[in-house]
Amino acid sequence: MNKLSFMALAALVAGCCCNTDDVKPFGVTKFGEKASVYTLKSPDGLTLEVTDFGGRLVRCWAPGRDGKMSDVTLGWNTVEEYETLGFSMGTLIGRYGNRIANGKFTLDGKEWQIPVNETNPVPRFCNLHSGPVGWDAKVWKASEYDGKRLVLTLVSPDGDMGFPGTVTMKVTYTVLPQNIWRIEYEATTDKPTVLNPTHHSYWNLAGEASGSVLRQLLKVNADKYTQTDAGLIPTKDAPVEGTGFDFRKARPIGMMASWMASQESLKPMDNWYDHNFVLNGKCGEMKLAAEMSDPESGRVLEIWTTEPCMQMYGAQNMTTKLPAKEKGKTLCQFAGVALETQHYPDSPNRPDFPTTVLRPGETFRSTTEYCFKTR
């Protein structure tokens, strides 16, 4: 090996791994791809474990007011569990997060058919999170890693899950001082396409497998939410005032359970949260989306984003005693809450919503920050 080649190899190793103890094997996917898990550490204590398998957040250790660290995100210990147990647990979602009605959309006069993968119960006839083999099923390339920053890249070929265009996606995870986790999304395409990536972590600020989050407090910076039909496809925006969707002031997540259960229109949606909130503020500008807190531990999570919306999913379907990461423990119904910053569901079929169209020569950019505090 000549001197130049040796220097190039050394630079690659230095750029991809700061410490071999911080990169560990995570298993092999059903497609035969090897996955790894990377550790990211903030100088103020926040510690993340992220796998290149779907860009999943596996663990998130955050301090309480007493300084005690707890893992505040739901997840599993093996690739096989993520593949078989579902729930989009902790993963990157793409190309398109949320639902597209009937798995169809029209772009520049041409109709595109993508997989219909949510058909049970029957009224939900749509594409959910891009289809059965979305970006969550891929092992991403870890192109940069230094212990505080991890860059994941993926080339999604033309026709991937039926979507047009070859999309080159870069997602950067950075942990910052003051216990901030920043996600930056950047993408280009060679043909017109639609794009709506998001992250699907579930949060429980009391700690994973500690019980339900119904007593934890949530505040959402939204005056409106999006009403849906029985298939969870948007119909119109409506004021949150006077409804169970009013989180403008912090309140327990489960406080309006009786109101939710009484609503005939919500029965096809399990009478619980799987809805889009229209965030106050401008699309493309950083703004507070939500604040979640656990009074007992003192942990607080603020979510800031440039996205116009946030989907809230309340884990009402976690009813099968799913395993937890901690040996001998299980998850339960309402074991966490997913707060997914994104564009509206079904935007490709709704010209009145902010566009999700990406064209050649354009660069998609989006940023979301998760800020962990105590009080």
Contacts of 92 (CB under 8 A, 6+ apart): 54, 55, 56, 135, 136, 140, 152, 171, 197, 198, 199, 200
Burial class of 215 by CB neighbour count within 10 A (0 to 12, 13 to 18, 19+): middle
**pLDDT above 80 for 20:** no
Reported confidence tier of residue 8, pLDDT bands at 50, 70, 90: very low
> Which range has the worst mean pLDDT, 14-23, 175-184, 237-246, 349-358?
14-23
For residue 29, tell me if it sits in a domain: no
Residue 87, domain member (yes or no): yes
pLDDT of 268:
83
Residues 6+ apart with CB under 8 A from 15: 144, 145, 146
Here the tokens at position 316 are 């009402």
pLDDT of residue 7: 40
pLDDT of 319 reads 83
Tens of pLDDT, residue by residue over 40-67, are 999 999 999 999 999 999 999 999 999 9
pLDDT over 70 percentage in the chain: 94
Please say if the pLDDT value at position 5 is more than 80: no
Q: Is the pLDDT of residue 19 over 70?
A: no
Q: Give per-residue pLDDT as tens, 159-200.
A: 999 999 999 999 999 999 999 999 999 999 999 999 999 999
**pLDDT level of residue 119 (50, 70, 90 thresholds):** confident
pLDDT of residue 123: 72
Q: Is 80 exceeded by the pLDDT of residue 97? A: yes
Q: What is the pLDDT of residue 304?
A: 98
Q: Is residue 151 part of a domain?
A: no
Residues 188 and 363: their CA atoms lie apart, in Å, by 5
The verdict on whether 200 is a catalytic residue reads yes
CATH number at residue 329: 2.70.98.10
Higher-confidence residue of 257 and 17: namely 257
Looking at 129, 199, 200, 343, which residue is catalytic?
200
Selecting among 307, 340, 343, 369, the annotated active-site residue is 340
Q: Is residue 61 part of a domain?
A: no
How confident is the model over 306-333, as pLDDT tens digits? Answer: 999 999 999 999 987 899 999 999 999 9
Q: How confident is the model at residue 18 (pLDDT cuts 50, 70, 90)?
A: low
- CB proximity list for 272: less than 8 A, separation 6 or greater: 260, 266, 314, 316
369 catalytic residue (yes or no): no
Which of 110-124, 316-330, 344-358 is predicted with the least confidence, judged by mean pLDDT?
110-124
List the Cα angle 141/18/171 in 5-degree steps: 35
Residue 192: domain span: 66-131+157-374
Residue 357 inside a domain? The answer is: yes
Q: Percentage of the chain surpassing pLDDT 90?
A: 89
Alpha helices in the chain (DSSP H): 3-16, 79-85, 257-262
Q: Which amino acid is at 190?
A: D
Q: Could you tell me which of 107, 317, 346 has the C-alpha nearest to residue 226?
A: 346
pLDDT of res. 108: 98
pLDDT-based confidence at residue 230 (cuts at 50, 70, 90)? confident
Judge whether 276 lies within some domain.
yes
Residue 11: pLDDT over 60: no
Average pLDDT over residues 261-277: 92
Count of domains forming the chain = 1
